Amino acid sequence: MNRVVSLFRISLMVLIGFAWSISGCGQKEDTRPKPKPFTREQLLNANQADSRRESDVIDSYINHHHLTMSATGTGLRFQFLRKSEKGDSARVGLYATVDYKVSLLDGTVCYSSAKDGRKEFRIGEDHVESGIHEMVMFMKTGDKVTFILPSNRAQGLLGDGDKIPPRAPVLYEMELISLR
**Domain positions in the chain:** 69-179
Q: What is the CATH number of domain 69-179?
A: 3.10.50.40
pLDDT in tens, 105-147: 999 999 999 999 999 999 999 889 999 999 999 999 999 999 9
SS3 162: coil
Element containing residue 111 per DSSP (H, E): strand 109-112
For residue 26, the model assigns a pLDDT of: 53
Residue 24 binned pLDDT confidence (cut-offs 50, 70, 90): low
Average pLDDT over every residue of 86-97 = 95
* Beta bridge partner(s), residue 120: 97
Residue 88 binned pLDDT confidence (cut-offs 50, 70, 90): very high
Query: Mean pLDDT over all residues of the chain?
Result: 89
